[in-house]
Amino acid sequence: MATYERKDRFYHQAKARGLPSRAGFKIEEMILRHRLVRAGDAVLDLGAAPGGWAVVLAKAVGPRGLVLAIDLEPLAKGAPNLRAFRGDIHGEAAASWMGEQLEGRKVQAVCSDMSPKLTGIFFKDAYLSYELGVKALEVAQRWLQAGGNFVAKLFPGEEFPEYLKKLRNHFKTVKVFEPEATRKTSREVYVLGLGWKG
């Protein structure tokens, strides 16, 4: 059985590059392999704390792009094109804030690294992650422009095929991806939806 190794090479590389967490390497790989975001894009980053994805996304979209990061926990300081909101993604305050930031526009990508508080009971954790994945998709339905991209983290369980089916109804292409930086002991996967049908 694989052992949990918190301070592996990705941990040390994150520290060396000044990234808030190793998670930055996961979104970086998805950007490189699947063109998830491009320069000038506006992006929603859900479940953003401590900021590993947000920092990488801000660099990827560049100074003309915008990253709106939302989490219940505070984020580390970010780039000038990164704006953070602390609160519930489904709260009215978050929706009002996003509307103010976007000024009537929609985003080109919705990226969710939201994770439930893990119980260690796999079927329960899988279901809770499925619920968060559905919430992320609901956010995409409101804010994602036609042709845009989506990614959400899930722990595949009984509901996983249903989730893939939901995404195939909304996106031209759906992929399941396991980034290299994912810990060997983790069961998480990332589901990508490319080309929002609108």
pLDDT in tens, 87-113: 999 889 999 999 999 999 999 999 999
The answer to whether the beta carbons of residues 56 and 24 sit under 8 Å apart is: yes
| Cα-based angle 24, 101, 195 (whole degrees, multiple of 5) | 60
* Per-residue pLDDT, 87: 94
Which of 59, 77, 117, 153 is catalytic? The answer is 153
pLDDT in tens, 13-66: 544 455 545 678 889 999 999 999 999 999 999 999 988 899 999 999 999 999
Tell whether the model's pLDDT for residue 8 goes beyond 80.
no
Tell whether the model's pLDDT for residue 182 goes beyond 90.
no
Look up 59 and say whether it is catalytic.
no
Tell whether the model's pLDDT for residue 10 goes beyond 50.
no
**Domain residues of the chain, as ranges?**
9-196
Cα 104 to the chain's mean position, in Å?
22
Cα 136 to the chain's mean position, in Å?
9
Q: Is the pTM of this model over 0.75?
A: yes
Half-sphere exposure of 9 (CA within 13 A, CB side): 3
Class of domain 9-196: alpha beta
CA distances from 174 to 161, 171, 183 (A): 12, 7, 23
